[in-house]
Structure 1
Amino acid sequence: MKVMRLTYQNSLGIVWDQRFTEISFSHPMIRDISKARVRDFIKLAKEKVSFVEIRPEYATKEDLMVVHTRDYIGLLEESSKIPYIGFLDQGDTVHYPGMFEDILLVLGSSFTAIKYSKFLDYVYIPLGGFHHAMPNRAVGFCPINDVAITALKLLEKGERVAIVDVDAHHGNGLQFILYDKPILKINIYAYDGNFFPGTGKIDEIGEGKGRGYNINIPLPLGSTDDIFEKSLEILDLLELYNPSYVLVVAGVDGHKNDQLKSLDLTTNSYNLLGLRIRRIKKTINSSIIAYGGGGYGPMSSLSMVSFLEGLLGRRTSYEPLTSSEDIGKIRRIEKIISRFKTLSNFFS
């Protein structure tokens, strides 16, 4: 690991436990890929960025109850005792022996991150960002919704919370759980109405106390780096919202070489995301907690590290940029962003 120099805008903590390399809730066909991503990530991170390694604490069953039903938590506990691998849902999210303890470790990582975010500029959790899970069921490789639980815990403490959810797949669980909560949620994802999970219409802006707080920026399937860069302009809303905490799901499954291919992004996009979050940090000095999210391809680990390099102010380019010849796609993103910037009236 590089020597850590604690300088303003450059102090990074990574929540890490060696157990992370053995945890995967993904389908059996890609479980090994998921584990390899985390294992390769920590090796690359030690080569390319300076950071403080933070040991996570375990959450409790009571912490899960912030979002999840008692019956579902009981199902997770009982499934964890079954001596073989099976499915918690219709064929995506697995249970396995000892799973419940791993779930508590994953969730506890967020609580540890909150503590360290008080004196580190950025805290990163490579195994986290499970944004599909619903209160009563697992969805899309996600047995729990760690981000929703964390956001609600912070809200209970009086914090002003924003979530930036960047992933190939819309965070349907996050949207459902927080739809009526005054937590700003900016979602950037691939969408055609059918691609999993099929949610994320632009007119879904929240309800009740959460009206105007849910912002969906759907990217056309196959979107390239230039389209993604345009979509990041929506993050300017964070400066108006001025949150005390920003939770960033920095999923890297939009990379063009991902097994679950939907977008045509490169590591450049994730580096740019990190740079944009850094700029926001510099402007409003929010506490930043970021998650590794999804990623199931040979470039996933490097994409994760590229994001961290962006957080630390380093512009990197490990592969050529992708670009679209369809100017209409960029124009559509511009129109969506222009529409949503009027929503700042709800929370400014």
Structure 2
Amino acid sequence: MAASGEPIPAGKATLIGAARYRRFSYGDNHPLGIPRVSLTIDLIQAYGALDEEREYLIGRKASDRELTGFHTRDYILALQRCEALGKVPHRFREQHNLGNFENPWFPGFFSTPAVATGSSIQGAEEVLAGRMAFNPAGGMHHARPDQARGFCYLNDPVMGIQRLRRAGKRVLYIDIDAHHGDGVEMAFADDPEVVTCSLHMDTGYAYPFAGGQATDTGVHGNAVNLPLPRELNDTEYRHAFHTLWPRVVEAAAPDAVVLQAGTDILRPDPLGKFTVSTQTFLEAVTAIRDASPRHPDGTPKLLALGGGGYHPLVLARCWAGVWAILSGRELPEALPESGRELLAEVDWDMDEDEEWYPGLFESRLDPDLSGPLRPEVEAAVEGLLRDHPLLRGA
């Protein structure tokens, strides 16, 4: 492993996107009916932080063969049939959890997630070729082999990891989304060469509502889960992450790392229940980058994916920071004027009465959200390190 702060080789990261992410999707009343990938890339460009010729890759659609490496053939055919019909027949609603408010039909119903999945596979191939990669459209970690779950139609993290596994790589998957990375954990439960680690809202009060700590602490096998309470602050998140992460890396001894970087842990997120700042999030991403195994030239073997995040302004600011970390850039804290204008054009007023709202248009970072370290958070971390068989010896 490389020492924290070791310089990252310039020009050794790839940002993967596609024009289709500018199209209407999910619907006006859905939490994902907001600009995310397109807004992120536009903000990165406003900072002048993307060399499109050397650093940008257009995403491709995953093949049926790649998709059926995890999903059932019947499910893929159902998604394709629904896109062609322009609706979801009743039998597919019942069988595959499609066409409801959670997982609605929209134009590009199959093609858009198939491109996001192909992009995660491309990202894995970029890592194998000696680069880091960031696919902000990826990170759809809830999808099951034959069902959509939690806004996720295709489980692109699974297929990105499968690509690394086909190359013989041992993989550590780290999920910092506010929600449990349950679909990825399930996919690799029987593969000792994949370790999954998820820090998330306790499922006793948050999706996927699996019943709380009794069922998602993951004190077994190759899954390491840390469910956390509401209103988790910066101090508590830093303690939890920076205590757990080094132990997980040491125990997993990976050949490559896959990061799911959902931004719904951030305070303004409408679906998240944590009180974490953008800078604390980015500190975690930096630690993940620095601890990842490296190619001979020092480039981390790291694939970063998007994930949850339902506040477009907060998400774009944060993911621009993720790209800066991967590409070795130092971005000013102040948003450039074109970036401020870009965010101001977004149709979003959910929290405009909050005292911190104007700051979203001024800086890409947040006010400090430190607070007391509650005993229950400290006890959860200590208990996991003590009881998990994978971590006891690390």
- TM-score tier (shorter): 0.7 to 0.9
Query: CA separation of 1:215/1:100 partners in 2, compared to 1, >3 Å: closer, same or farther?
Result: same
Give a deviation string over 1:272-297, Cα, whole Å, max 9, x none: 12211122137786511101111111
Residue 262 of structure 1, CA deviation: 1.2
Query: CA separation of 1:148/1:138 partners in 2, compared to 1, >3 Å: closer, same or farther?
Result: same
Q: How does 1:293-304 map to 2 (within 5 A)?
A: 293-297=307-311, 298-304=313-319
Mapped pair 1:266 → 2:277? yes
Residue 138 of structure 1, CA deviation: 0.3
Give the percent of matched residue pairs that are identical in Structure 1 and Structure 2: 24
Residue 216 of structure 1, CA deviation: 0.3
The answer as to whether partners of 2:289 and 2:300 remain within 8 angstroms in 1 is no
Residue number in structure 2 paired with 1:196: 207
Superposition TM-score, scaled by structure 2 size: 0.77
Mapped pair 1:59 → 2:59? no
> Structure 1 residue aligned with 2:368, among 321, 324, 327?
321
Distance between the aligned counterparts of 2:17 and 2:324, measured in 1? 18
Distance between the aligned counterparts of 2:44 and 2:245, measured in 1? 26
For structure 2, the 5+ residue unaligned runs are 1-6, 334-363
Mapped pair 1:339 → 2:361? no
Residue number in structure 1 paired with 2:323: 308
For structure 1, the 5+ residue unaligned runs are 1-5
Query: CA separation of 1:293/1:119 partners in 2, compared to 1, >3 Å: closer, same or farther?
Result: same
Residue number in structure 2 paired with 1:16: 17
Residue number in structure 1 paired with 2:142: 132
Superposition TM-score, scaled by structure 1 size: 0.86
The answer as to whether partners of 1:13 and 1:120 remain within 8 angstroms in 2 is no
Distance between the aligned counterparts of 1:39 and 1:305, measured in 2? 11
Residue 27 of structure 1, CA deviation: 7.7
What SS does structure 1 have at the residue aligned with 2:165?
helix
Q: How does 1:1-348 map to 2 (within 5 A)?
A: 8=9, 11-22=12-23, 24-25=25-26, 28-33=29-34, 36-48=35-47, 49-50=49-50, 52-83=55-86, 88=98, 90-182=100-192, 183-199=194-210, 201=213, 212-233=221-242, 234-236=244-246, 237-281=248-292, 286-297=300-311, 298-311=313-326, 312=328, 314=330, 318-339=365-386, 342-344=389-391
The answer as to whether partners of 1:187 and 1:215 remain within 8 angstroms in 2 is yes
How many positions carry a matched residue from both structures? 337
Following TM superposition, the consecutive aligned residue runs of length 4 or more in structure 1 with deviations greater than 6 angstroms are 282-285
Please provide the CA RMSD for this pair.
2.9
What SS does structure 2 have at the residue aligned with 1:80?
helix
Query: CA separation of 1:271/1:205 partners in 2, compared to 1, >3 Å: closer, same or farther?
Result: closer
Distance between the aligned counterparts of 1:23 and 1:185, measured in 2? 33
The answer as to whether partners of 2:221 and 2:389 remain within 8 angstroms in 1 is no
Structure with bigger RCO (C-alpha 8 Å, 6+ apart) = 2
Query: CA separation of 1:26/1:133 partners in 2, compared to 1, >3 Å: closer, same or farther?
Result: farther
